[in-house]
């Protein structure tokens, strides 16, 4: 009854995304973003590698636990003494994933196909990846991507940027 194709896709997406975000963060020297990516992706990878073969309450319960763990781990990332906009956005996505896991459990309990659950989880993973990769004005305001933005500003000052 479970769709192995989408589960395999999700288990492949997480490590690839981790490597991609690590490379991107190192290029932009956005250490806060890298730490957030690690706090989000590592629990996901652990869940899929250790609980992928489980069903029912064990699978969905562990997924809920790892979503809650992600929310808790992100709470400790406070670059300026308060959670950044990036952390808050990732926590909101994790709360949505927690709700999706609760819904997935009830779908499993009612013998409903997990296609919707798998689709919602994949959609949330894409949103999470996009938020990790997109630099916003709020990130600049929080001071978490200072080197990334200073690099561009310094290039403009030297006449290397597009402005001017």
Count the Cβ atoms, other than its own, within 10 Å of residue 91. Answer: 18
107 vs 24, more confident = 107
Q: Which residue in the block uniquely carries the two structure tokens 């899929």? A: 48
pLDDT tens digits, one per residue of 98-107: 999 999 999 9
Within the chain, where are the H helices? 4-28, 31-51, 56-75, 85-109, 115-133, 137-142, 146-157
Helix (H, G, I), strand (E, B) or coil at 53: coil
Distance CA 51, CA 72 (A): 20
pLDDT at 7: 53
Contacts of 99 (CB under 8 A, 6+ apart): none
Kindly state the percentage of the chain with pLDDT values over 70.
66
Distance CA 146, CA 164 (A): 22
Exposure pattern of 15-31 as b/e (b: 16+ CB <10 Å)?
eebbeebeeebeebebe
Name the pLDDT band for 37 (thresholds 50, 70, 90).
Answer: confident
- Of the listed ranges 73-77, 81-85, 88-92, 108-112, the one predicted with least confidence: 81-85
pLDDT exceeds cutoff 60 at 58: yes
Residues 24-42 have a mean pLDDT of 72
pLDDT tens digits, one per residue of 89-140: 999 999 999 999 999 999 999 999 988 988 998 899 889 888 887 877 777 7
The pTM assigned to this predicted structure is 0.70
Distance CA 149, CA 15 (A): 27
């Amino acid at each position: 009854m479970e769709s192995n194709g989408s589960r395999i896709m999700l288990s492949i997406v997480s490590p690839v995304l981790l490597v991609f975000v690590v490379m991107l963060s190192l290029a932009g020297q956005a250490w806060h973003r890298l730490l957030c990516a690690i706090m989000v992706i590592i629990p996901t990878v652990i869940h899929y590698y250790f609980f992928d073969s489980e069903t029912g309450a064990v699978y969905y319960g562990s997924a809920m636990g790892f979503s809650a763990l992600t929310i808790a781990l992100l709470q400790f990332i406070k670059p300026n003494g308060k959670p950044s906009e990036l952390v808050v956005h990732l926590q909101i996505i994790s709360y949505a994933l927690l709700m999706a896991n609760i819904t997935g459990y009830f779908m499993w309990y009612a013998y409903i196909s997990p296609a919707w659950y798998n689709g919602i989880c994949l959609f949330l993973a894409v949103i999470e990846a996009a938020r990790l990769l997109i630099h916003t004005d709020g990130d600049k305001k929080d001071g978490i991507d200072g080197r990334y933005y200073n690099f561009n500003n310094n290039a403009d000052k030297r006449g290397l940027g597009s402005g001017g």
